[in-house]
A and B are shown apart, each in its own frame.
Chain A
Amino acid sequence: MAPESWYLALSAVLFCIGVVGVIVRRNPLVIFMSIELMLNAANLAFVAFGHRLGTADGQAVVFFVMAVAAAEVAVGLAIIVAIFRLRRRLSVDDLSLMRW
């Protein structure tokens, strides 16, 4: 059994890769997938903490995160498809209307 701190370190690595993906990529779909990566890294940390503390509470939280992520993906993809219908292009650099 690997110690829990290894799981936390892996979670940190995955989270940072997700952050870099959100900043680097221009395709909103890939940015979305990077956000899923970050959610997963946080989930892994929750499960590792729960395992360390000897309760299943961490797992319960992860269950709710999964439900929220499912709803978020459905709504987000619908918004992306709606934007694509409107503009026929798909790059976050074009969506600067609400920026200063």
Chain B
Amino acid sequence: MGPVAFVLIAGVAVGSALGLVFKRNPIHGALFLVVNLGSVAALYLTLGAQFLAAAQVIVYAGAIMVLFVFAIMVLIPGKEETGPDPRRAYRVLALPVGAVLLALLVAVVAAGARGRAPAATAAPDGVEAIARLLFTDYLFPFELTSVLLLAAMVGVILLSRRREG
């Protein structure tokens, strides 16, 4: 059951990521990204990270993607990528660059998997472990995120305000 579920979800994740990159219409790309984020949330569930799965769906697939779709609707950018590409030679290079990067990363992962595996301890599953950690060891960074979010909010309001005169 486990490996089969992983392969199915991973297929959905990779397919939707490819759809995001290679679909011309940005709104299709945004919907593909929602599918991708949802499948990654499912993978979090298989790793026993229930809280992150819920946060992924609420924060990423919910809030952030609504922001993206909203921006796409406001900017109406459907026409930008239809013209001839002025820098086609550079962009064709992207595929070999990506392939080499992928080969390197997979080589590292494979080397790590071949090496001596540490004895797998029982992972602390569920919400309790991360909650305990966030409010003890990571309390200061946790409080800092509130400052960061406030700063981002103020910055966005300043940036999106129209100049008065």
Same assembly = yes
Which residues does chain B contribute within 8 Å of A51, judged by CB atoms?
47-49, 123
Q: Determine whether B98 belongs to the interface, using a CB cutoff of 8 Å to chain A.
A: yes
Cross-chain pair count, CB within 8 angstroms:
230
SS of A interface (majority)? helix
Which residues A25-79 have CB closer than 8 A to chain B?
25-27, 29-30, 32-34, 36-37, 40, 43-44, 47-48, 50-57, 59-60, 62-64, 66-75, 77-79
Which among B21, B86, B91, B112 is the interface contact of A5 at CB below 8 angstroms?
A: B112
Contact assessment for A93 and B86 in the assembled complex, using a CB-CB cutoff below 8 Å: yes
Instruction: Identify which of A18, A43, A52, A71 gathers the most chain B CB atoms within 10 Å of its CB.
Output: A71
Contact assessment for B87 and A10 in the assembled complex, using a CB-CB cutoff below 8 Å: no
Instruction: Identify which of B30, B43, B55 gathers the most chain A CB atoms within 10 Å of its CB.
Output: B43
Contact assessment for B21 and A90 in the assembled complex, using a CB-CB cutoff below 8 Å: no
Contact assessment for A25 and B21 in the assembled complex, using a CB-CB cutoff below 8 Å: yes
Known contacts A43-B40, A44-B43, A82-B159; is-contact A59 B64 (Cβ 8 Å): no
Q: Determine whether A97 belongs to the interface, using a CB cutoff of 8 Å to chain B.
A: no
Contact assessment for A27 and B109 in the assembled complex, using a CB-CB cutoff below 8 Å: no
Instruction: Please tell me the number of chain B residues within 8 Å of chain A, measured between CB atoms.
Output: 86
Contact assessment for A29 and B134 in the assembled complex, using a CB-CB cutoff below 8 Å: no
Nearest Cβ distance between residue A52 and chain B, in whole angstroms? 7
Which residues does chain A contribute within 8 Å of B94, judged by CB atoms?
19-20, 23-24
Q: Determine whether A95 belongs to the interface, using a CB cutoff of 8 Å to chain B.
A: no
Nearest Cβ distance between residue A42 and chain B, in whole angstroms? 11
Which among B40, B44, B68, B148 is the interface contact of A32 at CB below 8 angstroms?
A: B68
Which residues does chain B contribute within 8 Å of A5, judged by CB atoms?
109-110, 112-113
Contact assessment for A26 and B130 in the assembled complex, using a CB-CB cutoff below 8 Å: no
Contact assessment for B40 and A59 in the assembled complex, using a CB-CB cutoff below 8 Å: no
Contact assessment for A33 and B33 in the assembled complex, using a CB-CB cutoff below 8 Å: yes
Contact assessment for A17 and B18 in the assembled complex, using a CB-CB cutoff below 8 Å: yes
Which residues does chain B contribute within 8 Å of A34, judged by CB atoms?
20-21
Further pairs besides A71-B151, A73-B67: 6, Cβ < 8 Å = A2-B3, A20-B95, A23-B91, A23-B93, A37-B20, A40-B36
Q: Jot down 12 A-B pairs with beta carbons below 8 A, ordered by A.
A: A9-B109, A17-B21, A24-B91, A25-B21, A29-B68, A47-B47, A52-B123, A54-B123, A62-B52, A64-B142, A66-B56, A81-B160
Which A positions have Cβ atoms within 8 angstroms of B?
1-3, 5-10, 12-21, 23-27, 29-30, 32-34, 36-37, 40, 43-44, 47-48, 50-57, 59-60, 62-64, 66-75, 77-82, 84, 89-91, 93
